[in-house]
Amino acid sequence: RMSRHAKKLRDHDINPCVAETDATTKCMDDNNYKKDMCTDYFLKYKNCRKFWHGIMMQRKRNGVKPEMPPAEERKKILETMG
C-alpha cells in the first residue's frame, strides 16, 4: 500500500514532473545506479521542478488558486510556450 506522500508524488495534478521522475528512476535502474550515466535525466528533472516552481510562486503572488495548475492547465501553458 502506498503512503499518502507517495500517492501525492504519483498524482499528475500535484506533481508536474512525474514523467521526469520515472525516466530518472528507470535510467538509474538500467545503469546499476551509476549517477553519472543519468546526468541528462537529472538535469531534465531539475529543470522541470525549477520551471513549475516558478509558475507556482507567480500564481501564489497573484493570489491564483490552486497554486500548482492542474495537469490539463499545465498542458495548455506548455503549448502556448511552444
Note the residue count of the chain: 82
Domain count, the chain: 1
pLDDT in tens, 2-53: 788 888 778 888 899 999 999 999 999 999 999 999 999 999 999 999 999 9
- Predicted TM-score (pTM) of the model is 0.84
Check residue 78 and give its pLDDT: 92
Quick one: average pLDDT of 47-60?
96
Classify residue 18 as left (phi > 0), alpha (psi -120 to 50) or beta: alpha
**Residue 1 confidence (pLDDT) above 80:** no
Check residue 82 and give its pLDDT: 79
9 class by beta-carbon count within 10 Å (0-12 exposed, 13-18 middle, 19+ buried): middle
Q: What is the residue-wise DSSP string for 24-56?
A: HHHHHHHTTT-GGGGHHHHHHHHHHHHHHHHHH
**Residue 54 confidence (pLDDT) above 90:** yes
- Segment holding 64, helix H or strand E: none
Domain span at 47: 4-80
